[in-house]
Amino acid sequence: MRIVGVVVVGLLLLFYHPGGASTGHAETPKHAAQEFRVQSFPPSHREIIAEVTAYTDDINSCGKDDGITASGIHVETGHIAMDDSIPFGTRVRIEGMGEFVVTDRGGAITGNRIDVYMPSHSQAILFGRQLKKVQIVEYRN
C-alpha cells in the first residue's frame, strides 16, 4: 500500500510539477505532496486518468447518514470527493459522465482517486470502479 502511495505522488509530480519529477533535492512522499499543494495548479483543461468510484449519503458508504459533505453543504447529484490538494468548488469533467463540483473528501480518496455521489447504494455498487479521463474545467483557489 505504501508503494502505491509513493507511485501516485510520483505520478502527480510528473504531471503537475513544472519541471517534472526532478526538483534538485531529495523529497519524502509527504514532502512531495505538500509541495504539490502549494504550487499553482496547471491551466484549465489539463487531463489526468483517475480511478473513479461511487458513494452515497447513507451509513454504508460514509459511516453517517446526514448527507453533509466535508465542505459543509448537503451532497447532491453532481458532487464529488477528491484529494484535499484540489480545493472545494473546483469543477471537473469526467469522461462519459459530465461535469462535477468538488464538495467532499474521503479517507481513501487521495491522489488520482475520485468518489462520485450517487443517489442510491445500488447505483453506487453497479458503478463499481472505473478508470476515466478527468479534465479540470475550473480550478478554485
pLDDT in tens, 6-29: 334 444 433 443 333 333 433 333
Highest mean pLDDT, choosing among 41-55, 59-73, 96-110: 96-110
Q: What is the mean pLDDT of residues 101-129?
A: 94
28 with 48, same domain: the answer is no
56 with 82, same domain: the answer is yes
Q: Write the DSSP symbol of residue 74.
A: B
83 with 129, same domain: the answer is yes
Assess contact for 78 and 128: CB atoms under 8 A: no
Give yes or no for residue 65 having a pLDDT over 90. Answer: no
pTM to 2 decimals?
A: 0.67
129 with 88, same domain: the answer is yes
Give tens-digit pLDDT for 28-57. 333 333 333 333 445 545 788 999 999 998
What is the spatial distance between Cα 55 and Cα 124, in angstroms, rounded to a whole number? 6
Q: Which residues contact 113 (CB under 8 A, 6 or more apart)?
A: 50, 51, 52, 53, 82, 83
Q: What is the mean pLDDT of residues 112-135?
A: 95
Indicate the SS3 state at residue 18. coil
Tell me what pLDDT residue 35 has.
Answer: 33
1 with 25, same domain: the answer is yes
Tell me what pLDDT residue 45 has.
Answer: 53
Tell me what pLDDT residue 42 has.
Answer: 52
The total domain count for the chain is 2
Q: Containing domain of residue 112, as a range?
A: 43-138
Q: Which residues contact 21 (CB under 8 A, 6 or more apart)?
A: 10, 13, 14
Helix (H) or strand (E) segment spanning residue 29: helix 29-38
96 with 133, same domain: the answer is yes
